[in-house]
Structure 1
Amino acid sequence: MASVEDNKSKTSFAEEGQDILSLSDGELLGNARKLAEGRLVRKLDMRLLPAIVIIFIMNYIDRTAISAARLKGLELDLHLTANQYNIVIAVLYASYCPAQIPSNMALNRITRPSIYIGACVVLWGLTSAMTGVTHNFAGILACRIFIGLPEAAFYPGAMYLLSRWYTRKELALRSAILYGGLLISNAFGSLIAAGILSNMEGKGGIRAWRWLFYIEGAITILVGFLSMYLLPDFPSNTRWLTPAERRLAQVRLSEDAGEADEDTARDSAWGGFVLAVKDPKVSIFALMMCSQLLGFSFVNFFPTLTATLGFNTTISLLLAVPPWILATIVTCITAWNADRTGERFFHMASWWVVVIIGYVIGVSTMVVAARYVAMFLMTCGYAGFALTLVWVSNAIPRPPAKRAAAIAIVNGFGNLGNLMGSFIWKAQWGPEYHQSMYIGIGAMALSCILALIMRIILIRENASLDASELSSATRERIHKAAQLEGIPIAEALEKKKGFRYLY
């Protein structure tokens, strides 16, 4: 039987509400809930998603501009050896990977993530532009080290921010749209690079590859300032939502996991990190991410791979566009279906098998048409990768401090695969790159095995949920969920019992 306090809580929440489209707060959570929730999600989609997609496009355009610049004399002008170029590619990850963990731990405590993320975008845009003034190995090395620090805030931070707004069965598609920014950036980046490198050579007495960094860096700085206005903060304090909308946003997340998406007084940033480190699922996800990114390391050398088809610089850059457009479409369709079904493993692993097929074709022939088809298959594998951090959020939903740390640990450790991958596409192995592709096949096979292990673990954890005891922190979040939803605590406890991990 509901307590008097529970009923008072329910009544008080109904009475304290604000209007949204002329609806009271009580009505908002009642009969008009579906309409109001649809409007809220559309508002988020129209503002949050375009902002983070544009940021992600600029993130990878800035990061991979060096690959395009290589085709137009960067190595010659800076007197770089082949090994020094590989070091320049790899060193970004030396700062990018470890910085993600403290950044996401801090993001969970910062009240205005829109300002934090926007400021980081401005900083990496400035550092990218400064790459254009370098004249030697030491200068470009310093720029690559420092660009990794502000970039570390974005992808794990954006994924965590999405998880604070969207439910488990909404998150995959939104995350894929975000990751589509990365994939399409490879297409846009090649198009922009082709235009700048073919038309800006010698303008103002400046080499075209330097103009590439100046122009792309300036655009990123502008995007950073705009994102401070466009991005939301958290459901409890976003300025461009009404009080009723903010409450509805919190209710949606509490209903999704059976407990409020908030840290208790005992859930510190460090405590969340410790919980994440102790959870074996985090270690498996981290290794899975690392092996994937080793298998996908061709992304930093894609213009070099298209150049092996035997065409000039401009055509090689244009040939890099279609595979990434297809990959973007495939990624969004896969994520849409993953949201509808709630299934994770097969939506991911099946595309990693496609990558393996692409590599097998690549090592089997040097025929131009077949090798180009292999590149399409290789890029489509990102449809599986885009769901990895979604699966992390689904498998480690609460407390938010633990989820923030887990996302950062998985993505930070995982990007060591990119660091290692910077050295497996050696110039002396080209133009066939057979050794590189064999490493890629092994890495993708390991990813499939680890994903299968994770699926088995989550099936077993689901089977034991009914028998498990609730911790005091979990009970506290359930009580908060009952208050947010205006329901008795007993009903909230029953909802929690219905929670299951997605696998």
Structure 2
Amino acid sequence: MTDALMRKVSWRLLPFLMLCYFVAYLDRVNVGFAALTMNRDLGLSPTVYGFGAGVFFLGYFLFEVPSNVVLEKVGARAWIARIMISWSLVSASTAFVVGERSFFLVRFLLGLAEAGFFPGIILYLTYWYPSERRAGIVGTFMMAVPVSAAIGSPLSAWIMAAADGAHGLAGWQWLYLLEAAPSLLLGIAVLFVLTDRPEAAAWLTPAERDELAREIERDRKATAREKIGLRQALVHPQVLGLALVYLGLSAGLYGIGLWLPQIVKGFGLTTLQTGFVAAVPYVVAAAGMIAWTRRSDRRQERIGHVAIPAILGGLALALSGQTDAPVAAMALLSLATLGVFCALPTFWTLPTALLTGSAAAGGIALINAVGGLGGFIGPYLIGWIKNATGRFDLALAAIAAIMIAAGLLTLLLGRAMRRA
């Protein structure tokens, strides 16, 4: 397949998909900034906030596999549009929670609404890119996350400071309302921008459509080492092992992401200063993850490119809680964030190499659903330990241990996959 054809596909799909993921991540984690004043206004303790921030992933877990299977049946265009429109409406409704019960309910419903988006995009990319290019492509797509956090952190802080009290609403309420609007508009745009399969791409020439479809089919047959059906995929040992790895990475991603604003605020900064300082780890991650995934594609090596950053990132996270110097703590938190974001894109090349068809739809969704529980465990565990001990260092050490365990499990799975 020619590089020119791949560039044409990428320019058509990736900027739009990245923009969608940008707003998805913003709506998912802006609760971390809202918490700077929302927790006080609603009387939420660290444990209650940690549970509410993470309960999103329980809803996500319940609907993840069915959502991705439906996407494979009805097509990405219609289903991703449905996901984005519904989550934008639920996200906006968070502005009107009045206590812990309504906070828990809206966060749970947000998980239900968004379930299937990320694994759906991962599955969708397998329709357009052969396996040898996927680490770089997924890395480029996932760069939307650190970019979203890097831009969203100061933006969220500015909205909260500038809009506080306008029309009788608190800054955190305006935060939810204003940041939900782009998701609604993009959800509608999905219906007009995305194409379900290469065969239906009117923006490709007939020769390009045929070439791309043949290459994807050839790659599917070449990379499927064993025929795994949907039912087998849901209980396959390697699929379940990958789900546990992703759980560890997600615990690190959301444990850091949903608590970072409060950790940084603890340095004695204003809300606006917190927004800019909290963006630093994500700027570092955005710069490093593309180089790392390209290195993985160039060497065609996946296991080490997942395990090494997970282990080193976990060590950095553990050390970040052992220093009282803000600059040193931020440097270590930046390294921990970089480790997570270097591991995640390459990780998603592993299940897509193992599974195809409906098995890929169900298996990828299962991995993302079970692994996504790490998004519940990470924030809740930090909140529970912080509430019980009053210390962030012990909480960060617990998350670090989970990340390191994920890296070690990746090495064990690599041996099993090579034997297979």
Q: 1:92 aligns with which of 44, 53, 56?
A: 56
Structure 1 residues 138, 250: CA separation in 2 closer, same or farther (over 3 Å shift)? same
Structure 1 residues 431, 315: CA separation in 2 closer, same or farther (over 3 Å shift)? farther
Match of 2:378 in 1: 421
Q: 1:141 aligns with which of 104, 111, 134?
A: 104
Deviations along 1:17-75, whole A, 9 cap, x unmatched?
xxxxxxxxxxxxxxxxx5xx33331222112111111111111111111110111x212
Q: Distance in 2 between matches of 1:128 and 1:278?
A: 33
Aligned ranges 1:213-252 → 2 under 5 Å: 213-252=176-215
**Largest Rg, 1 or 2:** 1
Deviations along 1:470-500, whole A, 9 cap, x unmatched?
xxxxxxxxxxxxxxxxxxxxxxxxxxxxxxx
Match of 1:24 in 2: none
Shift of 1:212: 0.7
Verify: 1:328 aligned to 2:291, yes or no. Answer: no
Q: Distance in 1 between matches of 2:205 and 2:113?
A: 31
Q: Is the 8 A contact 2:256 2:337 kept in 1?
A: no
SS at match of 2:30: helix
Q: Distance in 2 between matches of 1:344 and 1:140?
A: 39
Task: Output the amino acid matched with 1:67.
Answer: G
Moved more, 286-295 or 171-180: 286-295
Q: Distance in 2 between matches of 1:455 and 1:95?
A: 31
CA RMSD of aligned residues (A): 2.0
Verify: 1:401 aligned to 2:350, yes or no. Answer: no
Match of 1:363 in 2: 321
Q: 2:262 aligns with which of 295, 304, 312?
A: 304
Q: Distance in 1 between matches of 2:63 and 2:172?
A: 29
Structure 1 residues 316, 85: CA separation in 2 closer, same or farther (over 3 Å shift)? same
Q: Distance in 1 between matches of 2:409 and 2:311?
A: 14
Task: Output the amino acid matched with 2:348.
Answer: L
Verify: 1:183 aligned to 2:140, yes or no. Answer: no
SS at match of 2:164: coil
Shift of 1:272: 3.5
Q: 1:411 aligns with which of 359, 368, 373?
A: 368
Q: How many residues align?
A: 414
Q: 1:313 aligns with which of 271, 294, 302?
A: 271
Shift of 1:101: 0.5
Q: Is the 8 A contact 1:363 1:432 kept in 2?
A: no
Verify: 1:160 aligned to 2:123, yes or no. Answer: yes
- Which structure has more relative contact order (CA 8 Å, sep 6+)? It is 2
Match of 1:435 in 2: 394
Q: Is the 8 A contact 2:50 2:380 kept in 1?
A: yes
Shift of 1:388: 1.4
Aligned ranges 1:383-402 → 2 under 5 Å: 383-394=342-353, 396-398=354-356, 400-402=357-359
Aligned ranges 1:119-134 → 2 under 5 Å: 119-134=82-97
Shift of 1:76: 2.9
Match of 1:276 in 2: 233
SS at match of 1:232: coil
Q: Distance in 2 between matches of 1:120 and 1:444?
A: 29
Task: Output the amino acid matched with 1:444.
Answer: M
Q: Structure 1: 5+ residue runs without aligned partners?
A: 1-33, 262-266, 462-503
Q: Distance in 1 between matches of 2:201 and 2:83?
A: 19
Task: Output the amino acid matched with 1:350.
Answer: I
Q: 2:407 aligns with which of 448, 463, 472?
A: 448
Q: Is the 8 A contact 1:359 1:441 kept in 2?
A: yes
Task: Output the amino acid matched with 1:316.
Answer: T
Verify: 1:48 aligned to 2:5, yes or no. Answer: no
State the percentage of identical aligned residues: 25
Q: Distance in 1 between matches of 2:111 and 2:231?
A: 25
Structure ranking higher in helix proportion? 2
Structure 1 residues 430, 114: CA separation in 2 closer, same or farther (over 3 Å shift)? farther
Task: Output the amino acid matched with 1:78.
Answer: L
Task: Output the amino acid matched with 1:104.
Answer: N
Moved more, 205-214 or 438-447: 438-447
Q: Is the 8 A contact 1:357 1:377 kept in 2?
A: no
Moved more, 139-148 or 368-377: 139-148
Deviations along 1:228-265, whole A, 9 cap, x unmatched?
2222212233343344332222111123244699xxxx
